[in-house]
Structure 1
């Protein structure tokens, strides 16, 4: 299909099917060229320009219906594109697959995200709220909870959210408890946050859903990723840039020794791309300095006991 279905395109086709005349400038593109070649559209000179008209509106509709499932019922499809919710960028209309299927018989006339949301995990029970119903997150080891309706997902304000880049680390969080506890003590000393519950969220499947949820919450966020330039860049651009000082990067107390014994190849692969990386969060500058000092990076899988 060498054309993009839009509300504008559908409205022009509907107008032509109803007998309207449209300027030739409004009838440019693959689908209109095809209709002209099939004799379903004709060009009529008008003043200094020309216009297009369908000699037989019914024949035009029949042809379009065989051309694409989205054209089986032009008016209903146009209503889907106009009235149903918008995609992540706020501009491209889309419809849930069940509505697409019931209207056109094809659930794939428009790309949609059938599975929005993100995974969560914890190693101690946390009471949360989803769709105004309270329940306890406490997945057995080896399983996770997927939060689809994240817009109505709420957690206590004293729970700290930990974003985990790597799925292996996300799976084995119970084997990294000492790391997290040491970090809380280092950051918060003898405050209430030292013994705060931790809700672990996975960065994958990668989308903006997690960041959107974090932006609408008041919880502290700790980013747990690789100790390398790429991992720091992910934190700075995807999280710190959007939620500010509520976010922090997990720098373990023994970062110096871990990076000193890290991977030189990882650093060499990244330095050209991130050599001029701007470190907006000055709290991670010491980590950047260590990475550049040793010319090495450290994979977060190394924290799994």
Structure 2
């Protein structure tokens, strides 16, 4: 597949006019938080929030995008000489996902003891995720935003209070879906632990949870973190982001009562609230 000039420009960190992007792909990238919107009067252009995250998302979405993983320094000529195929699609160079914790969690990696206890200001990246095993009583908390993921200690009281109220284990391992790939989900499907999703309080975030996680893990093993004060916080949320998401996600529903109540609340307030608001 030939990668469009607009996608190549986004990957290069350039600004791209909205008219140059496929509308369906643009809406999907916006919903996933991949793009920044830049207004020019009535016209809009877009730029990637994180070019590596965008590349990872595209590759995961469609195998044809794996051509993006070929390093620019590897010319087609040199690849043809070495392999006889100038269109060779290379394997992913860095599979896996980041993990974090605010207290030591005794895990195993490839059969060897592996303590997850990163120093404040850092986190770990598990590349060989198929060989990563955690205790069964640990709750896995997936954090969608990297700022929240990096600053878990500033949210510790918030998490501990929530886990206590909802009668979940206070032993927690934090994970991130960055870079966007199916590695995290595949790992979650292979372990018995409960998965608690912590994302933005908007329709796009709920859509990610429903279709990227809950439909694979089931309702018994996955839940959406819904703070008690989210109704109050939504009143000061973003109306613009709600409006941008509404057409795409207006029909979203859940048969989990608490999650449907959150959907109804978001639609009633007609606002979206970012999870960064819970960093104290």
Q: Give the secondary-structure state (helix, strand or coil) at the position aligned to 2:213.
A: helix
Q: Which has the larger radius of gyration?
A: 1
TM-score w.r.t. length of structure 1: 0.63
- Is the 8 Å Cα contact of residues 141 and 172 (structure 2) preserved in structure 1? yes
- 1:105 aligned partner: 82
- 2:279 aligned partner: 304
Once the two structures are TM-superposed, the CA of residue 282 in structure 1 deviates from its matched residue by: 3.4
Q: Distance in 2 between matches of 1:282 and 1:104?
A: 59
Q: Give the secondary-structure state (helix, strand or coil) at the position aligned to 1:105.
A: helix
Q: Distance in 1 between matches of 2:126 and 2:243?
A: 38
- Is the 8 Å Cα contact of residues 104 and 116 (structure 2) preserved in structure 1? yes
Q: Which runs of 5+ in 2 are unaligned?
A: 3-58, 71-77
Instruction: Provide, for residues 220-278 of structure 1, a one-character-per-residue CA deviation record: whole Å limited to 9, x for no partner.
Output: 00000000111011000000010012000000011111112211111111111111113
- 1:221 aligned partner: 195
Instruction: Provide, for residues 85-117 of structure 1, a one-character-per-residue CA deviation record: whole Å limited to 9, x for no partner.
Output: xx989x99x9xx9xxx99963698322111110
Give the one of 131, 134, 151 matched to 1:155. Answer: 134
- 1:129 aligned partner: 108
Count of paired positions: 209
Q: Give the secondary-structure state (helix, strand or coil) at the position aligned to 1:212.
A: helix
Q: Which runs of 5+ in 1 are unaligned?
A: 3-86
Give the one of 184, 208, 212 matched to 1:234. Answer: 208
Q: Distance in 2 between matches of 1:112 and 1:171?
A: 28
Q: Give the secondary-structure state (helix, strand or coil) at the position aligned to 1:267.
A: helix
Q: Distance in 1 between matches of 2:155 and 2:181?
A: 25
Higher relative contact order (CA 8 A, sep 6+): 2
TM-score w.r.t. length of structure 2: 0.69
Superposed CA RMSD in Å reads 2.6
User: Does 2:235 align with 1:260?
Assistant: yes
